[in-house]
């Protein structure tokens, strides 16, 4: 198994961040000088991904433009002595090969993945969500890919969550294999505390095999009129081994206000350029870090 493509569903309305996202896609909101989507793409590229398949909608054209050329802007930057900035824009454009797929109707995350079928073809691929910023060393996706390639099987990224968060995620039933690795048996989408089969939530992305597409195409539409990836994963777990891996790293759900604010602060502090002066500014306000003065 060799994983070289990543699908990023990014067609949603971003309702949790309204009114911010009424006109600006949530994936384009800035985090420490870069939009959310750039962090996600950079993590994928650092994990060995060569082609990014962005699943978008008519109101997400800004994503397509961001990773495209802007000859007039680049020419103006070069002409005014800002060639380094122009090169920075070209670097963003050239990070990977980009393919754009339109999800014509908002019919759920499973439908969004299915929309990328023709672009993925008959090969394994990663799935990353457009509002999940993952920071790890090695990159979180690389951790999942290593497990997938070593075992020649699909992998679900997981992590432990508190009981009061069970209703936010797909919660997995697993059989522990060793350390961070388990076999995924089933998943319950947004269960109550008493219904959750474990405290492992489906967080951190996926590495999937192309047989998931037939399962998505035949999946029943849920009560809300949507097709869920979790339903297809349950069927996949019944016909082949699917692994769950508790990744090492930090995850920010940039689709909600509190995590977005946390990511803005922590990623700014970690940035090698703006981090030091920002740290000085916070210290001047008398702010303290978790380990003492900033």
Q: What is the pLDDT of residues 123-168, one digit of tens each?
A: 999 999 988 999 999 999 999 999 999 999 999 999 999 888 888 8
CATH architecture observed for domain 5-255: Alpha-Beta Complex (3.90)
Sign of the four-CA dihedral 221, 226, 229, 230: negative
Looking at residue 291, its pLDDT comes to 55
Tokens describing residue 137 = 């060393």
Tokens describing residue 19 = 């009114």
In terms of Cβ atoms closer than 10 Å to its own Cβ (0-12, 13-18, 19+), residue 208 is buried
Would you list the domain boundaries of the chain? Answer: 5-255, 256-294
Q: What is the overall mean pLDDT for the chain? A: 90
Flag whether pLDDT at 68 surpasses 60.
Answer: yes
Round to whole Å and give the CA distance between 275 and 289: 14
Sign of the four-CA dihedral 183, 125, 17, 269: positive
Tokens describing residue 140 = 């979180």
pTM here is 0.90
Model confidence at 217, pLDDT cuts 50, 70, 90, reads very high
Q: What is the pLDDT of residues 182-204, one digit of tens each?
A: 999 999 888 888 888 898 999 98
Task: Tell me 102's DSSP state.
Answer: E
Round to whole Å and give the CA distance between 141 and 132: 12
Q: What is the pLDDT of residues 12-43, one digit of tens each?
A: 887 888 888 888 889 999 998 899 999 999 99
Flag whether pLDDT at 180 surpasses 80.
Answer: yes
């Amino acid at each position: 198994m060799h994983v070289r493509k990543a699908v990023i569903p990014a067609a949603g309305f971003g309702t949790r961040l309204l009114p911010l996202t009424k006109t600006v896609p949530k994936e384009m909101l800035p985090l420490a000088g870069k939009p959310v989507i750039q962090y996600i793409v950079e993590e994928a590229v650092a994990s060995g991904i060569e082609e990014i398949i962005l699943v978008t909608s008519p109101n997400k054209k800004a994503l397509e433009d961001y990773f495209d050329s802007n000859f007039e802007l680049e020419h103006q930057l070069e002409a005014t002595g800002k060639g380094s900035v122009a090169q920075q824009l070209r670097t963003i454009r050239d990070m990977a090969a980009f393919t754009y797929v339109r999800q014509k109707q908002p019919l759920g995350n499973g439908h969004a993945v299915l929309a990328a079928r023709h672009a993925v073809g008959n090969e394994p691929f990663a799935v990353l969500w457009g509002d999940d910023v993952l920071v790890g060393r090695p990159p979180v996706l690389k951790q999942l890919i290593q497990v997938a390639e070593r075992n020649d099987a699909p992998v679900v990224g997981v992590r432990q969550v508190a009981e009061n968060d069970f209703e936010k995620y797909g919660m997995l039933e697993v059989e522990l294999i060793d350390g961070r690795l388990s076999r995924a048996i089933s998943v319950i989408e947004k269960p109550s505390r008493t219904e959750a089969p474990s405290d492992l939530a489906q967080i951190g992305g996926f590495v999937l095999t192309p047989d998931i597409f037939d399962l998505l195409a035949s999946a029943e539409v849920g009560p809300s009129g949507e097709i869920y990836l979790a339903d297809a994963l349950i069927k996949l777990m019944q016909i082949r081994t699917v692994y769950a891996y508790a990744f090492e790293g930090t995850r920010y759900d940039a689709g909600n206000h509190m995590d977005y604010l946390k990511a803005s602060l922590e990623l700014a502090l970690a940035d090698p350029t703006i981090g030091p002066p920002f740290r000085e500014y916070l210290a001047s306000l008398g702010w303290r870090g978790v380990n003492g003065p900033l």
